[in-house]
Amino acid sequence: MTGAQDEAVEILQQLIRCESVNDGTGRGKGERQAAEYVAGLLEEVGLATEVFESAANRTSVIARVEGADPSRDALLIHHHLDVVPAEPKEWTYDPFAGEVADGCVWGRGAVDMLDMNAMTLAVVREWMRSGRKPPRDLVLAFMADEEAGGVFGAHWLVDNKPHLFDGCTEAIGEVGGFSLTVNDDLRLYMIETAQKGIAWMRLTAQGVAGHGSMMSQDNAVTALCEAVTRLGRHEFPIHVTRTVRAFLDHIGEAFGVELDPNDMESTLATLGPLARIVGATLRNTANPTMLDAGYKHNVIPQYAHANVDGRFLPGFEEEFERELDTILGPGITREYIHHDIAVETGFEGALVDAMGSALKAEDPGARTIPYMLSGGTDAKSFNLLGIRCFGFAPLRLPPDLDFSAMFHGVDERVPVDSLQFGVRVMDRFLDAS
C-alpha cells in the first residue's frame, strides 16, 4: 500500500486547495471544485459517478463499488467536502495551501474531514487499479453542506434520492477511530457510536420601542440579555447514557481509576484535552453564540434576538425543551433554525470486530472503545434510512497532539504518519468488512 499511502497525502493537499468553504450563508464558491476533483479521481480508475447539485455549487458525488458478493448488504462510506472558514493571518501556514511541514499536512479541513476523504479515495483507487474487489458493495458518498447541517447535502439526497443507498445497512463516517494514548503499550481507539441531537435556535424578546433618552420599563434588549445570561450560566443535569457509561468504564479500567458518577470532573481530568469533547456528552448544552438588536444608538428597539447552539442527549430531547422554557421564562420565544436527531447504536457486531482487528494488525497496542460525539455528522441523515452508523476515520496520533483543538481551530493539521496509518487500516478494514 506504499503507493496509496503517498497518494493519500497528495489527494489531501489537493482537496485543501479546493477551498470549499461553507460559511452557512451560501455566498461561498461551494463544493463544486472539490466534487469535480473527487469525481475525476474515481472515474479515472473506472468507477461511474453521479454528481448532484441541490443548489448553486452545493455539489455531492456518489459512486458504487461492486463487491465480490452482491447478495450481501452494502456498506456506506460517507464523507463531506465542505470546510469551515479560516482567517489566513492567524495561521502558521496558509490554510488553503495544503503545505507539508513539520511532519504534518496543514490546512483547513485536514482533520475535518478531508483526511478521511483522502484515505478512502487512495484505497479505492489502489483496489480498482489492481482488480481487487471488496467483500460487498461499497457506496461512496462525498457530500456538500455538512458544516451547516447537511440541508443541501446528505439531507437533500436522503429526501430526494434515497434509492442511491439501497441495500446499505451499515455506514462509517468521520470523527472516530482516533487514538488516545494511555501508555507505550496501550492506545484506546475511540469509535463513535452515538451523537447528540442538534437544536440551533433563535430567541426573540419583544418590548416597547422608544427614544433612548427616556425611561423604559419594557426594553427588549434588557429582557433578552437577562434570559441569555440565565441560559449561558445554567448547568444542565448529568445523564450517563449507555454509550457514555461504556466509555467511562473502559477509561476507568485503562487509567486505573475508580469512576464516581457523582464526581465526573475527576474522571474528565484523566482525559486531558479530550475532556472538551467528552464533557459535553454528560449533559444537554445550550450555548449563546450570536446577539442582534437595534438599528440606531438612540432608539430602543421593539425586538431583540439571540442565536443559541443547543445539543441534547439521546433520549433527553423532551426534558431539554422543558428545561429551556423554564430557564428562558415568559416573554422569550424560541424557534428552531436547524433541528436534527440524536443517534445511538450498540458497540457490537461484525463491523465493530473488523474495526478492532484492522487497528490491532497495524498497532498491537490498540483497543477499541465506544464514545459519543458532542457534535453532529451526516450520520443523522443516513440514520433516517435505517442505516447503522459509526464514526471510523482511523488515525494513530502522537500522544502530545491536542486533536480536539484541530476541529475548526487555527493551524488545523494531520500528521503524515497518522494519515498513512489510516490508509493501511482502512485497507484491512474494508477487506474484512
Q: Is residue 248 part of a domain?
A: yes
Rg of the chain over all Cα atoms, to the nearest angstrom: 23
Return the C-alpha torsion angle 296, 298, 302, 305, nearest 10. Answer: 50
**Do 250 and 167 share a domain, yes or no?**
no
pLDDT at 260 > cutoff 80 = no
pLDDT at 26 > cutoff 80 = no
SS3 238: strand
Sign of CA dihedral 251, 255, 258, 264: negative
pLDDT band at residue 217 under the 50/70/90 scheme: confident
How confident is the model over 189-200, as a mean pLDDT? 97
Q: Is residue 9 part of a domain?
A: yes
Q: Is 296 exposed, middle or buried (0-12, 13-18, 19+ CB in 10 A)?
A: exposed
**Do 331 and 427 share a domain, yes or no?**
no
**Do 36 and 87 share a domain, yes or no?**
yes
CB atoms closer than 10 angstroms to residue 60: 28
* pTM of the shown model: 0.94
| Mean of per-residue pLDDT scores for the chain | 95
Beta strands in 263-365 (DSSP E): 285-293, 299-300, 303-312, 332-340, 343-344
Check if the beta carbon of residue 138 is closer than 8 Å to that of residue 64: yes
Q: Is residue 81 part of a domain?
A: yes
pLDDT at 270 > cutoff 80 = no
CA angle 194, 195, 199 (to 5 degrees): 150
Looking at the structure of the chain, the number of domains it has is 2
**Do 389 and 335 share a domain, yes or no?**
no
CA dist 105 to 7, 109, 118, 206, Å? 13, 10, 12, 49
Which residue type sits at 22? N
CA–CA dist 73, 121 (Å, integer): 21
What would the pLDDT profile of 114-152 be if each residue is shown by its tens digit? 999 999 999 999 999 999 999 999 999 999 999 999 999
CA angle 417, 420, 421 (to 5 degrees): 85
CB atoms closer than 10 angstroms to residue 4: 24
What would the pLDDT profile of 53-67 be if each residue is shown by its tens digit? 999 999 999 999 999
pLDDT at 215 > cutoff 90 = no
**Do 122 and 231 share a domain, yes or no?**
no
Strands 197-206 and 332-340, sheet pairing: antiparallel
**Do 8 and 142 share a domain, yes or no?**
yes
Please list the residues that pair with 174 across neighbouring strands: none
**Do 143 and 219 share a domain, yes or no?**
no
**Do 205 and 110 share a domain, yes or no?**
no
State the residue range of the domain holding 26.
Answer: 2-178+374-432
Q: Is residue 292 part of a domain?
A: yes
CATH number of the domain at 216, please: 3.30.70.360
